[in-house]
Amino acid sequence: MTTESHHTLSHQPWLDPEEKPFIRIQGVTKQFGAFVAVDSVDLDIYKGELFALLGGSGCGKTTLLRMIAGFESPTSGRIVIDGEDMQDVPPYERPVNMMFQSYALFPHMTVEQNVAYGLKRDGVAREEIRTRVDAMLEMVELAAFRKRKPHQLSGGQKQRVALARSLVKNPKVLLLDEPLGALDKRLREQTQYELMNIQDQLGVTFIVVTHDQEEAMTLSTRIAVMDHGWFQQIGTPTEIYEFPESRFVADFIGSANMFEGRVAGHDGDVASIDVEGLPEPLKAEHTASLREGMQVWLAVRPEKMRIATEPFDDSSLNSIRGSVEDIGYYGDSSTYRIRVNPGMRLEITHPNLRRPRDGRHVADWDETVYIGWVPEAGVVLTR
């Protein structure tokens, strides 16, 4: 789940106050009648980023993408691309191109005619069209398919034709709306890496809209997690996964065991949290300023917990006893669902480092087990 892309800019421009953002979204709101689709958002995207807008359906991510493209106008706020305010710039004059989920290829044209179409319409010289189309077909590895029509291509090949057609016009920004949604799992994973390599070679700024968290984690330099028209959190895949700022983000990206409780006190930077139904308070490292009696949530990722059939002898660990309710075997790992009490179930992911000799799991159904984790494994959330 935590595949972090190799795709990172050589430095992190968003941390450098001297760097100028390539795209600035300032106080942008979009209303459709009484419905607020995008709610006063601010976002800076830097040149060469592969930026993901991630969220469930209806969260406002596609509406925001369409405003950057110029297909929708903000109700208020402004969008600046490469120093130019886009307020009165029509879509066809913006330095952006948009690749749609449906690919929208012309069925009667060959692959090379599809890729050349936009250049032809712009009146580019024939010789230059040929050079640019050839280079682009090489890049997406479709040179051998140039004479085929879309119906003779697989889903992955159509996807690459659409990508080549979007990139051949050298946009400064490419907007991709659920670009891999129509592909099966294996092809999607393969295509993610192809996308990253192409983006790397061209240095074009990509903004990808997706509802697929693994896709966002794998592809992007940074992610904005959207919900109900605004950003819950903006950060690198690692920051968003390891340091979620809210329960929504902790739940939306990967899975998390969530304990609701009250701060019982703290010792230095380790807080004690009383959780109903647990005999002992839980210990957690915290960065938020916590007061005694404050309501908090402790999120712990399933892979950060250990499972054993004997009690742990390390008193610094959080330890909870329960019994195994379900086991999911995934080959490289197994997931255990542990019932702690009638109202609490935990999920633990255990890597299968060794081959079981007798087909046995670490623990079996209905067996009593102990769950342990270190205080720094959890994240204390206040919202």
Question: What is the percentage of the chain residues whose pLDDT exceeds 90?
Answer: 54
In a domain, 13, yes or no: no
In a domain, 3, yes or no: no
Instruction: Tell me the pTM.
Output: 0.86
In a domain, 360, yes or no: yes
Asked if residue 118 and residue 217 are part of one domain, the reply reads: yes
Asked if residue 172 and residue 48 are part of one domain, the reply reads: yes
Residue 8 has pLDDT above 80, yes or no: no
Question: Cα–Cα distance between 165 and 251 in angstroms, integer?
Answer: 37
What mean pLDDT do residues 178-186 have?
A: 74
In a domain, 294, yes or no: yes
What mean pLDDT do residues 31-40 have?
A: 94
Asked if residue 300 and residue 154 are part of one domain, the reply reads: no
Asked if residue 262 and residue 230 are part of one domain, the reply reads: no
Residue after which a domain boundary falls, among 248, 275, 310: 248
Number of domains in the chain: 2
Asked if residue 66 and residue 144 are part of one domain, the reply reads: yes
Residue 357's pLDDT band (cuts 50, 70, 90): low
Provide the residue range defining the domain that includes 299: 255-381
What are the pLDDT digits (tens) for 64-116? 999 999 999 999 999 999 999 999 999 989 999 888 777 788 999 999 999 99
Asked if residue 239 and residue 95 are part of one domain, the reply reads: yes
Asked if residue 270 and residue 230 are part of one domain, the reply reads: no
Residue 2's pLDDT band (cuts 50, 70, 90): very low
CATH code of 157's domain: 3.40.50.300
- Token pair of 147, please? 């004479």
What are the pLDDT digits (tens) for 284-297? 988 678 888 999 99
Confidence (pLDDT) at 6: 44
Residue after which a domain boundary falls, among 213, 248, 283: 248
Give the contacts of 199 (CB within 8 A, at least 6 positions apart).
7, 50, 206
Residue 3's pLDDT band (cuts 50, 70, 90): very low
What are the pLDDT digits (tens) for 251-270? 888 889 999 999 998 888 88
In a domain, 48, yes or no: yes
What are the pLDDT digits (tens) for 117-165? 989 988 999 999 999 999 889 888 889 999 999 999 988 888 889 888 9
Residue after which a domain boundary falls, among 207, 226, 248: 248
Residue 243 has pLDDT above 70, yes or no: yes
In a domain, 222, yes or no: yes
CATH code of 285's domain: 2.40.50.100
Asked if residue 358 and residue 342 are part of one domain, the reply reads: yes
